């Protein structure tokens, strides 16, 4: 009898502990990645923001003011993968958006998968999956921890922005296919047909409603935090002579990919938020005691930044509109899931560089790297020095890939070729650093650019020589902004945590994007992603 009472008390205690631990966890985790968001957009546009969007997150959450990416290249695919896996490309394997695959003998796309079929479109836009990502995400670990009862849904205009964060075991990932269709789609990796709520959304003509006039949200004269509306540093849209407000999107659509044009305006973010709301309702996320995960990426900021540049009126207007969209989305979460029932973080997948031509106009060193000339020069060097230009099979993503079979056939020493290339590359204008495969595999760089390059170097997938250009130098057209470097304008990103389990506060202590996933795992009491190298940001956990 005593043994029975002891066992009964023990089971009651266990049940109480489980219930207590369950109540400590959020019903929903929302991870928001803003594509191409520099940290200084928070401070630059602060006075123009309302009180319920970015300001609500900063004032009522925990703001890491010195958060950086700890690897290169700073592109969308690696960025989204790193945020959710808690590690760098050296381990999760997403070394770029697309990269040369030395085993397949051609380029591969980070989310491309010809073994699956499109769902929701007759095009090949749905032939996507996370199969090239080698590690789990914290969303995967939450699925495993909850015996697959906790749901994971990924949403983004870009396929890679939806697929990689959601992980391998997601219930679904959805992305937007513009063109003539304007549909949210997925692949047979997740399902064989779209759920009814997605079909209903696609049939609602919501996307079509955003082909309207894009004009400033506020009087453009008040946009003092950005450059002139009419300038020579912006791209613009086909069919309009000047990159100036207003933009009649309905009129411009036919020359700019039809519904694809929505992505390149702030209305793409509005469309994403509306679809995310539909997902929350349709999938009943956050409606029980088992934690669900919504991964949400706002991609339009990247399209606008690439087109108009980080100092443009268009970028400022896009962020003021995103602030309003965030405000509305947070209020929706309050109503749908309940205040205090969800935890949210907001970060970016990379930053962006000021247009080099603009920097030059202000006497700041910057410029453009002539990739075409460089390709010819490096081929000529290899032929003259080692006897055959085909010893280089590919140059891309600031990496040189060597032809191992030809090296063997010619009885050459691979290390000699690497070293020869290294010395030659350092002589080239606007190349400041070079690392060989031997350097990166044999050495340990604990700080600086060497550390960033090493963290982005995957032994099996990366090239044999990696080079770094001078600050402010890019391979890109002379209008608009881009990203990809290890310099602060590309690595410094916002990182804000908000909601259940999060203290209020801020810090200038260093934090890294790879710390996000371990932090969320610690908050949820689940296993870290299986290749995680980041560290939980314990100072802001309300425990």
Average pLDDT (326-351) is 98
Domain map of the chain by residue range?
Answer: 31-359+485-540, 370-429+431-469
Q: Find, among 266, 262, 477, 230, the residue nearest to 353 by Cα.
A: 477
pLDDT of residue 24: 86
DSSP string over 278-319: HHHHHTTTT-SSS-EEEEEEE-HHHHHHHHH-TTSHHHHHHH
Q: Is the pLDDT of residue 122 over 80?
A: yes
User: What are the residues facing 418 on neighbouring strands?
Assistant: none
**Among all chains, which residue has been given the structure tokens 């199969």?**
131
Task: Check residue 9 and give its pLDDT.
Answer: 36
* Per-residue confidence band for 543, with pLDDT thresholds at 50, 70 and 90: low
Whether 514 shows a pLDDT value over 70: the answer reads yes
Listed residue (480, 535, 516) closest to 79, CA to CA:
516
Structure tokens at 468: 């770094």
Q: Is 215 helix (H, G, I), strand (E, B) or coil?
A: coil
Pairing of the two strands 118-119 and 183-187: antiparallel
- Of the CA atoms within 13 Å of residue 400, those in its CB half-sphere come to 28
pLDDT per residue over 252-282, tens digit each?
999 999 999 999 999 999 999 999 999 999 9
Q: Label the pairing between strands 399-402 and 247-248.
A: unpaired
Condensed to tens digits (0 to 9), the pLDDT of residues 226-248 reads: 999 999 999 999 999 999 999 99
Q: Which positions ≥6 away from 319 have C-beta within 8 Å?
A: 41, 45, 301
Name the average pLDDT for the chain.
95
Determine the 3-state secondary structure of 204 from DSSP.
Answer: coil
Work out the average pLDDT over 294-319.
Answer: 98
Mean pLDDT across 134-156:
98
Q: What is the DSSP letter of 334?
A: I
Instruction: Report the predicted TM-score, pTM, of the whole model to 2 decimal places.
Output: 0.95
Question: What is d(CA 252, CA 259) in angstroms, rounded to the nearest whole number?
Answer: 10
Question: In angstroms, rounded to a whole number, what is the distance separating the alpha carbons of residues 495 and 512?
Answer: 9
Rg for the chain, CA atoms, rounded: 24
Encoded tokens for 316: 């400022």
Nearest residue to 401 (alpha-carbon basis) of 423, 375, 427, 362 = 375
Q: How many residues does the chain have?
A: 543
Separation CA 263–CA 265 (nearest Å): 6
The tokens of 364 are what? 């700041």
Q: What pLDDT is recorded for position 147? A: 98
When pLDDT is averaged across residues 179-190 and rounded to a whole number, the result is 97
The candidate with the shortest Cα–Cα distance to 231, out of 245, 217, 218, is 245
Could you tell me the pLDDT band of residue 46, with boundaries at 50, 70 and 90? very high
Work out the pLDDT band at 135, boundaries 50, 70, 90: very high
Distance CA 211, CA 217 (A): 16
Judged against a pLDDT cut of 70, whether residue 343 lies above it is answered with yes
Give the model's pLDDT for residue 21: 53
Cα 541 from Cα 543, distance rounded (Å): 6
State residue 22's pLDDT score.
59
Single out the residue of 425, 433, 472 nearest to residue 450, CA to CA: 433
Cα 347 to Cα 31: distance, rounded to the nearest angstrom: 8
Residues 153-179: pLDDT tens digits? 999 999 999 999 999 999 999 999 999
- Encode pLDDT of 315-328 as tens digits: 999 999 999 999 99
Which residue has 């997938």 as its token pair? 461
Evaluate whether 367 touches 431 at the Cβ level (below 8 Å).
no
pLDDT at 443: 81
Q: Is 76 designated active site?
A: yes
Q: Which of 76, 137, 479, 482 is catalytic?
A: 76
Predicted pLDDT of residue 444: 85
Higher pLDDT, 363 or 17: 363
Share of the chain above pLDDT 90, in %: 94
Q: Is the pLDDT of residue 333 over 60?
A: yes
Preceding peptide of 73 cis, ω within 30° = yes
Q: Is 242 within 8 Å of 230 (Cβ atoms)?
A: yes
For the chain, the maximum distance between any two Cα atoms, rounded to a whole number of angstroms, is 91
The answer to whether residues 308 and 235 touch, using CB atoms and an 8 Å cutoff, is: yes
Separation of alpha carbons 222 and 320, rounded Å: 12
User: Which carries the bigger pLDDT value, residue 322 or residue 443?
Assistant: 322
Q: Using an 8 Å Cβ cutoff, are 202 and 239 in contact?
A: no
Structure tokens that stand for 259 in this block: 């519904």
CATH class of 370-429+431-469: alpha beta
Nearest to 301 by CA among 514, 158, 449, 469: 158
Q: Is 31-359+485-540 assigned to CATH 3.40.720.10?
A: yes
């Amino acid at each position: 009898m005593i043994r029975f009472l002891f066992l009964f008390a023990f089971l009651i205690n266990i049940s109480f502990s489980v219930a207590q631990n369950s109540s400590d966890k959020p019903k929903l985790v929302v991870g928001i990645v803003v594509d191409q968001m520099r940290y200084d957009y928070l401070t630059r546009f602060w006075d123009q923001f309302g009180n319920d969007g970015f300001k609500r997150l900063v004032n009522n959450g925990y703001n890491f003011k010195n958060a950086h990416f700890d690897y290169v290249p700073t592109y969308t695919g690696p960025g989204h993968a790193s945020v959710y896996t808690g590690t760098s490309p050296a381990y999760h394997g997403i070394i770029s958006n697309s990269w040369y695959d030395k085993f397949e003998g051609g380029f591969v796309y980070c989310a491309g998968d010809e073994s699956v079929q499109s769902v929701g479109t007759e095009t090949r836009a749905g032939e996507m999956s996370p199969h090239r990502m080698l590690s789990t995400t914290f969303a995967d670990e939450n699925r495993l921890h909850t015996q697959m009862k906790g749901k994971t849904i990924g949403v983004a205009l870009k396929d890679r922005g939806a697929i990689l964060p959601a992980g391998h075991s997601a219930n679904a990932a959805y992305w937007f296919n513009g063109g003539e269709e304007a549909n949210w789609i997925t692949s047979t990796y997740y399902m064989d047909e779209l759920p009814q709520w997605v079909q209903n959304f696609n049939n609602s003509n919501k996307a079509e409603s955003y082909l309207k006039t894009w004009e400033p949200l506020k009087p453009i004269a008040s946009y003092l935090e950005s450059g002139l509306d009419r300038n020579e540093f912006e791209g613009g849209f086909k069919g309009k002579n000047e990159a100036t407000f207003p933009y009649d999107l309905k009129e411009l659509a036919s020359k700019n990919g039809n519904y694809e044009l929505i992505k390149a305006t702030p209305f793409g973010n509005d469309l994403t938020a509306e679809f995310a709301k539909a997902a929350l309702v349709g999938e009943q996320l956050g409606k029980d005691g088992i934690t669900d995960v919504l991964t949400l990426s706002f991609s339009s900021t990247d399209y606008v930044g690439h087109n108009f540049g980080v100092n443009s009126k268009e970028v400022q207007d896009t962020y003021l509109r995103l602030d309003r969209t965030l405000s509305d989305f947070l209020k929706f979460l309050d109503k749908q899931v309940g205040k205090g029932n969800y935890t949210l973080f907001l970060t970016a997948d990379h930053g962006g560089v000021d247009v080099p031509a603009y920097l030059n106009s202000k006497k700041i060193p910057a410029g453009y790297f002539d990739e075409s000339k460089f390709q010819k020069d490096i081929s000529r060097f290899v032929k003259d020095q080692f006897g055959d230009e085909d010893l280089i099979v590919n140059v891309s993503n600031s990496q040189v890939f060597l032809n191992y079979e030809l090296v063997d056939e010619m009885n050459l020493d691979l290390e000699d070729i690497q070293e020869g290339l290294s010395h030659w590359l350092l002589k080239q204008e606007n190349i400041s650093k070079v690392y060989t495969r031997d350097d990166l595999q044999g050495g340990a760089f604990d700080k600086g650019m060497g550390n960033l390059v090493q963290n982005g170097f995957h032994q099996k997938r990366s090239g044999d020589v990696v080079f770094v250009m001078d600050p402010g130098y890019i391979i890109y057209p002379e209008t608009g902004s881009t990203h990809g470097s290890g310099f602060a304008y590309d690595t410094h990103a916002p990182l804000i945590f908000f909601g259940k389990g999060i203290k209020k506060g801020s810090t200038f202590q260093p934090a890294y994007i790879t710390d996000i996933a371990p932090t969320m795992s610690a908050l949820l009491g689940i296993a870290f992603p299986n290749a995680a190298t980041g560290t939980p940001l314990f100072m802001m956990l309300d425990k």
